[in-house]
């Protein structure tokens, strides 16, 4: 039996390792944190190519010597910035998976198991996924932009690649667990498809100035959930 999604997310967060110099005092830890937060803001605004010690120091309102003290080079600075993102994301996703799994079990308990009932359930779960993506685009847009930037950089940076894989493990295991709860016959394979669909929706949403989602992609998500639940396809409940 695979580990629970929340357990995996927590374990990934705890396994994150930082490369830069550790803070010696409580006050200096806050400064180090300020530098990491400032780096993330620079990534969102200017991309990874905009990350320079001087730019980050100005953004964090700290002396230039502070950034070079904690991070000997830009590689360490970028690695620790994304490591911090993965750590935060793991805590966020652990709570999300727990809440979502509980909600799905309630929906399954209320479902009568008929084709029409399963069709309605598929529509409900697809709408939950759409709502999740829209919330991400509204409240975590900057983080999604930064995540895309780090994913591209990871193609050339092995240390970042390891962190990206850890982050993907959280998403895949969470999706796998939820699909298993729903009765998927191939939860691992279906998790790959579901995260790919949602990732595409997020990427396309980031390209637009508003949170409107592409109708074709939403239809793809609905069709996917009907296939997983074996409901007979959208509209079969009517």
The rounded distance, in Å, linking the Cα atoms of 238 and 110 is 19
- Of the candidates 21, 40, 45, 22, the residue with the CA atom closest to the CA atom of residue 86: 40
- Of the candidates 160, 163, 140, 147, the residue with the CA atom closest to the CA atom of residue 92: 140
Question: Per-residue pLDDT for the chain (238 aa), expressed as one digit of tens each?
Answer: 345 666 766 766 666 667 766 655 666 788 888 999 999 999 999 999 999 999 999 999 999 999 999 998 999 999 999 998 988 888 888 888 888 888 999 999 998 888 899 999 999 999 999 999 999 999 999 999 999 999 999 999 998 999 999 889 888 888 998 899 888 999 999 999 999 999 999 999 998 877 677 778 889 999 999 999 886 556 544 4
Q: Is the separation of the CB atoms in 146 and 43 below 8 Å?
A: yes
Q: Any idea of the CA torsion for 74, 171, 3, 82, to the nearest 10 degrees?
A: 10
- CB atoms under 10 Å from CB of 86, counted, come to 19
CATH number of 5-15+92-229: 1.10.357.10
Backbone phi and psi for residue 110, each to the nearest 5 degrees, phi listed first: -85, -15
């Amino acid at each position: 039996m695979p580990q629970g999604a929340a357990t995996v997310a927590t374990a990934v967060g705890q396994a994150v390792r930082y490369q830069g110099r550790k803070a010696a005092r409580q006050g200096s830890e806050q400064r180090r944190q300020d530098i990491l937060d400032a780096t993330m803001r620079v990534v969102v605004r200017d991309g990874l190519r905009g990350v320079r010690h001087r730019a980050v120091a100005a953004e964090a309102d700290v002396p230039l010597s502070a950034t070079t003290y904690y991070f000997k080079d830009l590689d360490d600075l970028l690695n620790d910035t994304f490591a911090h993102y993965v750590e935060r994301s793991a805590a966020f996703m652990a709570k999300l998976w727990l809440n979502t799994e509980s909600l799905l079990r309630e929906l399954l308990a209320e479902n009568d198991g008929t084709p029409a009932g399963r069709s309605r359930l598929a529509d409900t779960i697809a709408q939950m996924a759409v709502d999740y993506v829209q919330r991400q685009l509204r409240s975590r847009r900057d983080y999604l932009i930064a995540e895309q930037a780090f994913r591209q950089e990871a193609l050339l940076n092995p240390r970042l690649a390891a962190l990206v894989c850890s982050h993907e493990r959280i998403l895949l295991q969470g999706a796998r667990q939820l699909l298993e709860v729903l009765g998927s016959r191939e939860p691992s394979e279906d998790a790959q498809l579901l995260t790919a669909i949602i990732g595409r929706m997020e990427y396309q949403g980031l390209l637009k100035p508003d949170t409107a989602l592409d109708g074709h992609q939403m239809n793809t998500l609905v069709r996917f959930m009907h296939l997983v639940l074996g409901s007979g396809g959208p509209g079969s409940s009517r």
